[in-house]
Amino acid sequence: MRRWLLPALLLAALLGLWQIACSTGAIADALSLEDFLVPSPAEIASSLWENRDLLAENAWVTLREMVLGILAALVVGVGFAILMHSSRLLRDAAYPLVVASQTIPIVVISPILVVWFGYGITPKIVIVALICFFPITVNALDGLRSVDPEAVKMMRSLDASRWQRFRRAEAPAALPNLFTGIKISVVIAPIAAVFAEWAGSSSGLGHLIQSDTANFEVARQFATVAVLSALALALIGLTALAERRVVTWR
Amino acid sequence: MKLEIGGASHAYGDLQTLDSLDLAVEAQSVIGLVGPSGCGKSTLLELICGLQEQSAGTISVEGQTAADERLSRCAFMPQRDLLLPWYSAIDNAALALRNQGMGRREAREAAGTLFERFGLAGFEAVRPGELSGGMRQRVAFLRTLVAGKPVLALDEPFASLDAITRAEMQEWLATALRTDPRTVVLVTHDVEEALYLCDRVAVLSARPARIVAELSAPAPRAADRDAAVTDPAFVAAREEALRALREGSA
């Protein structure tokens, strides 16, 4: 109860302050702006309601980009982690490259991917997957390597094959780390999806924000941000739920 | 002879851990290895189990000298219980059977009969995290026993337990070995534990380890532990072992 109530109260207080600051024109005056450029929470809420169909339509587009991107990163990242775990040679060769790949800014490569894959959903999935690949791979690999060397000896002595050691000892041990990686991915996936849409798209929440900037639709921009944030929160909640279902021994 | 070691030496790089060690263990007898901390007791155990290769000399288990042959004939119980937290107590105990290809239900049934015999009935479905230290060691020992190997290699199985629990566990193990005699190599730093549980005790010197004394225990695995360890013959053997231990460490 306390876990939910306190942040909810704080949020209500902040929104209240914001509402008062807007109705007195304090923020717009301080920034020397027209009043309509600084929407109040009430105006944002009504924009949210009036544009519900448009927002839902675009939210569905962005949600698909995020979920498919995370799933692609999960499949490739876990596969890569297993390969690097099973071969010392491959790990020594590929791990520095995996880390180095993170120095490439996504803003720079997303236009290239649009050129390659067009304006459809594919470049968005690729960009989300590229961003989420790193936390998933690194955490999964750490998890696989977290197994006690003594436990490996014990398993060997209990007639475990390489596959059985993986299946019964290493893979379950890696699950908590893997979920950490997924949670980080879920948090950064909306940023990746918005960047991907900015690089070239005709729909999605990122696209909506971009076109609203041109038209000074500030209230709807805030409403769009709220929807994006709600999507991310829902995904985090789902991941936490899945973790509790799967990692039952903690 | 179930187990024969002839002139076995071992080194980690420049660090000589074992120096031309000889040892012979008869079937269904329990041999204790005591020695100062870091003397190479655990290394010797891993060599016997085929988890490592000696640098010189021969080690044979049931006449087989190849490391993988030894591995298939020895069950190794590491110092910490290393129960897998994602499996129930019974699934941990049945681990070797599962690895050997037995189905889940049959493996549980086979391990379940031992649970009843060794005072663990009712704890089958409990996860290791909910078991006490003593119970965890019992499950870990059953896991070693269930593997059905001719030789059990126990590495300081009770070192992590408090004094009272340790005494209880020694009695429990003595009972277990009276009802189900096995060839056991027990590594411990506790002279009293070795003399109570083993038929013979080999005292090792400081690194590089060699055998400085071999003693016969006066009353191995006696039903009344308290009487056995206060018996004058036992006290004399303990003093002799301690003297050998001190001289070997100097």
Q: Is B77 on the interface with A (CB under 8 A)?
A: yes
Interface confidence: ipTM more than 0.90:
no
Q: Using 50, 70 and 90 to split pLDDT, how confident is the model at A214?
A: confident
Whole-angstrom Cα distance, residue A102 to residue A18? 38
A159 chain-B contacts, CB cut-off 8 A: 72, 96, 99-100, 147
Q: What is d(CA A71, CA B172) in angstroms, rounded to the nearest whole number?
A: 51
Burial of B132: CB neighbours in 10 Å, binned 0-12, 13-18, 19+: exposed
Average pLDDT, rounded, for chain A: 92
**pLDDT for residue A139:** 96
- Mean of the pLDDT values across residues B151-165? 88
State whether A249 and B98 contact (CB < 8 Å).
no
Percentage, residues of chain A above pLDDT 90: 72
Task: Give me the pLDDT at residue A54, please.
Answer: 94
pLDDT for the residue B145: 87
**B139 confidence band (pLDDT: 50, 70, 90):** very high
pLDDT score for B224: 87
pLDDT at B19: 86
Residue B1 predicted with pLDDT over 80: no
Using the beta-carbon criterion (under 8 Å), do B99 and A159 form an inter-chain contact? yes
Whether residue A156 and residue B71 make contact (CB cut-off 8 A), yes or no, is yes
pLDDT tens across A4-62, in order? 899 999 999 999 999 998 888 888 888 888 888 889 999 999 999 999 999 999 999 99
Structure tokens, A120: 């459809």
Subunit contact B78:A161, Cβ cutoff 8 A? no
Q: What pLDDT score was predicted for residue A173?
A: 94
For position A199, what pLDDT does the model report? Answer: 87
Q: Is the pLDDT reported for residue A107 higher than 80?
A: no
End-to-end CA distance of chain B: 32
Q: What is the pLDDT of residue A17?
A: 93
Distance set, CA B224 to CA B52, B116, B134, B166, B181 (Å): 38, 22, 20, 15, 18
Helices B133-146 and B163-179 sit at what angle, rounded to 10 degrees?
Answer: 20
Compute the distance between CA of residue B20 and CA of residue B6 in angstroms, rounded to an integer: 7
